[in-house]
Structure 1
Amino acid sequence: MSGLFGIIESAKKAIHSSRVGMEVTSHNVSNVNTPGYTRQRVELSSTDVLTSKRGMANAGVKVIGIKQIRDEFVESEIRRVSNLMGTYSVEREILGRIESLINEPSDVGLGQLIQNFFNAFDDLAKNPEDRALRVTVVQTGKALTQRYKEIFQRLLGIKKDVLSELEAKIKSVNESVSEIAKLNQSAINHHNTGAETNDVRDKINQKLKELSKLVDVVVKFDESGAVKISAGGVTLVDKNFATNLELKFSDGQVKILSNTENLELKLNSGEIFSLQNSFNGLIPQMIQKFDQLASNLISRVNEFHRNGYGLDGSIGNDFFAGTGAGSIQVSKAIINDLNKISASMNGNAGDNKIALAIASLKNDEKISGFYNSVVSDIGLRSRISSDNENLQQMILNQLESQRDAISGVSIDEEMLNMIKFQKMFEASARVIQSVNEMIDAVLSMVR
Structure 2
Amino acid sequence: MASDLLSIAVSGARAARGALDVTAQNIANASSDGYSRRSLRLEEVSAAGGVGRVGDISLSGARIAEIRRNADPFLQGEVRRTGGDLARADIELKGLRNMESALEQSGVYDAMVEFEASLQQLAGDPVDPARRAAVLGEAETLAAKFNITADGFDAVRNGLQFDAEAEVSEANIIGQEIARINLRMNRAGPGSSDRASLLDQRDLMLERLSGLTSITTSFSADGTVAVSLGTNPARSFVNGGAAETLKIREYVDGVPVFEIGGQETKPTSGSLGGASLALTDLAAVRIRLDDLANGFATTLNAAQANGAALDGSPGQPLFSGTTAGTLKVALQSGAGLATAPAGSPAGSRDASNLDALRQELKTNDPIQGFSSLLFDVSSKVSGRTVTQSALETIASTARISLEQQAGVDLDTEAANLIRFQQAFQASGRAMQTASDIFDTLLGIGR
SS in 2 for 1:214: coil
Shift of the alpha carbon at 1:193? 10
**Which residue is 1:344 aligned to?**
340
Matched position secondary structure for 1:351: coil
Aligned mates of 1:379, 1:223 — CA distance in 2: 50
Indicate whether 1:38 and 2:39 are aligned: no
Deviation at 1:417, TM superposition (A): 0.9
Q: Is the 8 A contact 2:299 2:361 kept in 1?
A: no
Equivalent residue, structure 2, for 1:238: 239
Give the Cα separation in 2 of the matches to 1:318 and 1:163.
37
1:437 corresponds to: 436
Whole-angstrom distance in 1 between the partners of 2:28 and 2:173:
28
**Residue 16 in 1 paired to residue 17 in 2?**
no
Distance 1:133 1:230, change over 3 A: same
Whole-Å Cα distance in 2 between the matches of residues 149 and 194 of structure 1?
A: 63
Deviates more, 1:140-149 or 1:44-53: 44-53
Q: CA deviation at 1:366?
A: 5.5
Matched, 1:228 2:230: no
Cα deviation, residue 265, structure 1 = 1.7
1:108-147 paired onto structure 2 within 5 Å = 109-147=107-145
Query: Which ranges in structure 2 are unaligned for 5 or more consecutive residues?
Result: none
Task: Give the aligned residue type for 2:272.
Answer: I
| Range with greater deviation from structure 2 (182-191 or 41-50) | 41-50
Alpha-carbon deviation of 1:246? 1.9
Residue 211 of structure 2 aligns to a residue whose secondary structure is: helix
Do the aligned residues in 1 keep the contact of 2:92 with 2:277 (CA within 8 Å)? no
Q: Secondary structure at the match of 1:67?
A: strand
Post-superposition CA distance 1:292-351 (Å, at most 9, x none): 11111022223333223333233443332332323322233xx23x33312234848333
3-state secondary structure, aligned to 2:64:
strand
2:250 is aligned to: 249
C-alpha deviation, 1:169, in angstroms: 0.8
SS of alignment partner, residue 103 of structure 1: helix
Instruction: Please say if residues 115 and 362 of structure 1, whose CA atoms lie closer than 8 Å, have aligned partners that are also in contact.
Output: no
> Is 1:165 matched up with 2:163?
yes
Q: Give 1:363 shift.
A: 4.0
Tell me the distance in 2 between the aligned counterparts of 1:339 and 1:435: 116
User: Structure 1 residues 251, 210: CA separation in 2 closer, same or farther (over 3 Å shift)?
Assistant: closer
Task: Decide whether the 8 Å contact of 1:343 with 1:351 is kept in 2.
Answer: yes
Distance in 2 (CA, whole Å) between partners of 1:273 and 1:160 is 16
Task: Kindly state the Cα deviation for residue 286 of structure 1 after the two structures are TM-superposed.
Answer: 2.5
Q: What is the alpha-carbon distance in structure 2 between the residues aligned to residue 201 and residue 110 of structure 1?
A: 55
Matches within 5 A, 1:223-372: 223-232=221-230, 233-249=234-250, 254-258=256-260, 261-279=261-279, 281-332=280-331, 335-336=332-333, 338-345=334-341, 347=344, 349-361=348-360, 363-365=362-364, 367-372=366-371
* CA distance, structure 2, for counterparts of residue 143 and residue 42 of structure 1: 74
Cα distance in 1 for partners of 2:71, 2:20 equals: 20
- CA displacement, residues 60-79 of structure 1 (integer Å, 9 cap, x when unaligned): 32322111112222211111
Gaps of 5+ in 1: none
Asked if the contact 1:86/1:271 (under 8 Å) is kept, the reply is yes
In 1, Cα distance between equivalents of 2:416 and 2:18: 12
Question: Percent of aligned pairs with the same residue?
Answer: 21
Answer yes or no: is the 8 Å Cα contact 1:118–1:361 preserved in 2: no
Contact kept? 2:68, 2:191, Cα under 8 Å:
no
Counterpart CA distance in 1 for 2:326 and 2:36 is 59
TM-align CA RMSD: 2.5
- Describe the shift of the 1:352–1:17 C-alpha distance in structure 2 as closer, same or farther (beyond 3 A): same
Alpha carbons 2:315, 2:338 under 8 Å: kept: no
Distance 1:76 1:8, change over 3 A: same
Please give the secondary structure, in 2, of the residue aligned with 1:318.
coil
1:74-124 CA-partner distances (Å, limit 9, x unpaired): 2111111111111111111111111111112xxx60011111111111111
Contact 1:125 1:353 in 2 (8 A): no
Q: What secondary structure sits across from 2:143 in the alignment?
A: helix
* Distance in 1, Cα, partners of 2:198 & 2:171: 19
CA distance in 1, matches of 2:363, 2:35: 62
Give distance in 2, aligned partners of 1:198 and 1:411.
Answer: 20
2: distance between equivalents of 1:374 and 1:202?
Answer: 48
Aligned to 1:420: 419
TM-score (norm 1): 0.90
Aligned-partner Cα distance in 1 for 2:71–2:358 = 69
Give the AA of the match of 2:311: D
**CA distance in 2 between partners of 1:286 and 1:331 (Å):** 26
The more displaced of 313-322 and 261-270 is 313-322
Aligned ranges for residues 45-194 of structure 1 at < 5 Å?
45-48=43-46, 58-104=59-105, 109-191=107-189
Maintained 8 Å contact 1:28/1:40: yes
